[in-house]
Amino acid sequence: MFQIGSLIVLCGLLAQTTALLEALPVPLDQNLPLAVTPALAPSPTDLAGSLTGALSNGLLSEGLLGILENLPLLDILKTGGNAPSGLLGGLLGKVTSLTPLLNDIIDLKITNPQLLELGLVQSPDGHRLYVTIPLGMILNVKTPLVGSLLKLAVKLNITAELLAVTDEQKRVHLVVGDCTHSPGSLQISLLDGLGPLPIQSLVDNLTGILNNVLPELVQGKVCPLVNAVLSRLDVTLVHSIVNALIHGLEFVIKV
């Protein structure tokens, strides 16, 4: 009788112990693979925003603003064109009261260069991107006789086409296709000018010359920078963008 009672008690203890063990968390076996929650694909806004942010930071890191500030604009204006004194001579020669100042204009500087907010558009087929790079600067024309003669606000857009390519080693890249200034995007406005002189005539003629000279000059400096920046982009970001472009997936939100 004692043995039967002891057996019943023992079975009861074993049942309680088993229940407690089942309630305890099971320790992880470090050798077993863990269940991995699939990473969420970046949203279109995140992907587009990451690209424009990386391009902006990259252009600034590559010295874009310093390059704009040191454009050889004065040298081009003095030596270009068919006029004997270059484009600048032809310009001032059209404004008769400024002719005596022709040889005295020694300073034409670009100040306050700016990189404004980049724009991003995806082609209708989804396989290409177009990045608009808006630039701003102040153009100062000075003479030793009268000091500041003109101060002009200048804005210009450069548009770069981005393509997804695969090299011989099957590695994917983003590269620049066409890169040019946006037609009609050059804007020039007078900020300040010396009152007694025929400033508007000078501004009109200078604007015509800058339309012929400045866009190509800026384009030649900015487009190589875009290529350099693309080569240094984060690999994960590049792969995500290239995958979207190859498959024609829309990730640029149309506003």
Residue 69 to residues 65, 114, 186, Cα–Cα distance (Å): 6, 10, 17
Structure confidence by residue, pLDDT tens digits, 116-155: 999 999 999 999 999 999 999 999 887 766 677 788 999 9
* Confidence check: pLDDT of 38 > 50: no
Mean pLDDT along residues 102-107: 54
Q: Answer whether 0.85 is exceeded by the pTM.
A: no
What's the pLDDT score for residue 26?
43
78, 185 contact by CB (below 8 A): no
Backbone angles phi, psi at 231, to 5 degrees: -70, -15
Tokens of 190: 């007078």
* Beta-carbon count within 10 A of 242 CB: 19
**Domains recognised in the chain with CATH numbers:** 44-247 (3.15.10.10)
The mean-pLDDT minimum among 110-114, 137-141, 201-205, 247-251 falls in 201-205
How high does pLDDT run on average in the chain?
A: 76
Burial code (b: 16+ CB inside 10 Å, e: under 16) for 176-186 equals beebebeeeeb
Task: Indicate the range of 12-16, 219-223, 237-241 predicted with least confidence.
Answer: 12-16
Query: What are the phi and psi torsion angles at 64 (to 5°)?
Result: -55, -45
Per-residue pLDDT, 193: 65
